Amino acid sequence: MRCLSGIQPTGRPHWGNYFGAIRQYIDLQDDNEGFYFIADLHALTTVRQADALRENTINAALDLLALGLDPKKATLFVQSQVPEVSELCWILMTGTPMGLLERCHAYKDKKAKGLAADAGLFNYPVLMAADILAYDSQLVPVGQDQIQHIEVTRDLAQAFNHHFGETFVIPKAQTLVHGAKVPGTDGEKMSKSYDNTLPLFGEVKRIRKQIMRITTDSRPMEDAKEPEGDHLFQLFQLFAEQEQIDEMAAMYRRGGFGYGEVKKAVAEASEAYFADARQRRAELESNLDYVHEVLRDGARRAREAAALVLSRAKKNCGLQESV
Ligand code: TYM
């Protein structure tokens, strides 16, 4: 199956990015044809410092490779290095109802807060549709928060196919049961824009401090607690084996424990879980030429795939094909 997904280089990737999306890229890469990219064009709607964007983009590539994305199995590239996608974005925009975009949450939320939104943010879902459709993607592994965007993609593709004839493959989203919506340190969805993230990489001591600051309820220690609705328990669940999860759940139900104990368990489990990736990342950092080479090769392969779809779309809607 053709799988595709992207991650924005807007800052350091966090547990939500990994357990919602990146882990799926890696699980899917053995038996599928994967296209995974760093969405720098999307990030440009929020990162307005050139150096930061450049640095974040390379860091995102390092992160993905360190976490196990294998360039021999999947294509890893930077979004802006495939200009075909931006061209397809324009074509799709001409058939996108304004009302559809007005209902999309990124734009709606910003407007609701009284913040000035730009056309880039408004059209964000159309660029995402172009990303997905440009590669004839069948499956899009993501977290819950991207589902609406994939619905928009399906709508736009269906409308185009209906009007101009069979052109685009209609993609499906895939989310995981545990991981579709990883909570942050405050119990809300973990998100770079809420300042509640736990990073995948970075100084262990600092991350441990952040873990110790995860909010908890103030019920007495003796009280029995239901584990399911508790975000600290949900975070523990991401890293632990079933047996440890059952033990922890039993401890919650018995009561008489301190949240500090659970936090310590989360810290230890997460450190062990990411230890190999952390080491691989350090190795890659001293081999940036290799990383650039991977991205160059990825962009070449991605462009080849996107050019086919773009030329099909241009032909079907009556545009002159590329010379
Ligand atoms: P971004 O960079 O915000 O997030 C990357 C991926 O991480 C997932 N994610 C989460 N999953 C579970 N729990 C969380 N707390 C959590 N936070 C983030 C996201 O769902 C996403 O899968 N618009 C996209 C990037 C993009 C894209 C695409 C994705 C651009 N074009 C085409 C798929 C297909 C974004 O902002 O992801």
73, 181, 189, 315: the catalytic one is 189
What tens digit of pLDDT does each residue of 26-65 get?
999 999 999 999 999 999 999 999 999 999 999 999 999 9
> Does the beta carbon of 92 lie inside 6 Å of ligand 1?
no
pLDDT of residue 208: 96
What tens digit of pLDDT does each residue of 112-141 get?
888 888 999 999 999 999 999 999 999 999
**200 with 14: CB under 8 angstroms?**
yes
Nearest ligand 1 atom to alpha carbon 149: 23
Write down all domains in the chain, each with its CATH number in brackets.
Answer: 2-181+288-317 (3.40.50.620), 202-282 (1.10.240.10)
pLDDT of residue 106: 86
The helix/strand/coil state of 23 is helix
Nearest CA to ligand 1 atom 36: 8
What tens digit of pLDDT does each residue of 159-205 get?
999 999 999 999 999 999 888 999 999 999 999 888 999 999 999 99
The token duo for 223 is 């009280």
Q: How confident is the model at residue 259 (pLDDT cuts 50, 70, 90)?
A: very high
Nearest ligand 1 atom to alpha carbon 180: 12
As to burial, measured by CB atoms within 10 angstroms (0-12 exposed, 13-18 middle, 19+ buried), residue 311 is middle
- Known catalytic residue at 264: no
**290 with 284: CB under 8 angstroms?**
yes
- Known catalytic residue at 192: yes
**230 with 262: CB under 8 angstroms?**
no
Ligand 1 mean position to 143 CA, how many Å?
Answer: 6
Between CA 13 and CA 36 the distance in angstroms is 15
pLDDT of residue 164: 98
Residues 6+ apart with CB under 8 A from 260: 212
Residues 6+ apart with CB under 8 A from 230: 216, 217, 252
Ligand 1 mean position to 64 CA, how many Å?
Answer: 13
Nearest ligand 1 atom to alpha carbon 128: 31
Length of the chain: 323
Q: Diameter of the chain by CA atoms?
A: 75
Mean pLDDT of 137-166: 98
pTM of the entire predicted model: 0.96
What tens digit of pLDDT does each residue of 274-284 get?
999 999 999 99
The token duo for 24 is 């799926």
Residues 6+ apart with CB under 8 A from 269: 236, 239, 240, 244
Among candidates 35, 23, 64, 6, which has minimal Cα distance to 182? 23
Between CA 236 and CA 255 the distance in angstroms is 17
Between CA 196 and CA 184 the distance in angstroms is 5
pLDDT exceeds 80 at position 157: yes
Testing ligand 1's pocket by substitution, the residue of 142, 178, 194, 200 carrying the most ligand atoms inside 8 A of its CB is 142
Between 41-50, 88-97, 220-229, 286-295, the lowest mean confidence (pLDDT) is in 220-229
- H/E/C letters for each residue in 56-88? HHHHHHHHHHHHCCCCCCEEEEEHHHCHHHHHH
Binding residues for ATP: 8-10, 16-17, 143-145, 182, 189-193
What tens digit of pLDDT does each residue of 216-228 get?
987 787 888 889 8
Nearest ligand 1 atom to alpha carbon 144: 20
Question: How far does Cα 241 stand from its chain's mean position?
Answer: 24
Task: State how far the alpha carbon of 36 is from the alpha carbons of 6, 77, 171, 209, 314, in Å.
Answer: 6, 7, 15, 32, 24
Considering the chain, what percentage of its residues have pLDDT values greater than 90?
A: 88
| Count of alpha carbons within 13 angstroms of residue 196, beta-carbon side | 15
Binding residues for L-tryptophan: 131
> Does the beta carbon of 20 lie inside 6 Å of ligand 1?
yes
pLDDT of residue 222: 81
> Does the beta carbon of 12 lie inside 6 Å of ligand 1?
no
**Orientation angle between helical segments 231-239 and 259-285, nearest 10 degrees:** 50
pLDDT of residue 194: 87
ipTM above threshold 0.90: yes
pLDDT of residue 193: 85
Ligand 1 mean position to 216 CA, how many Å?
Answer: 26
- Known catalytic residue at 205: no
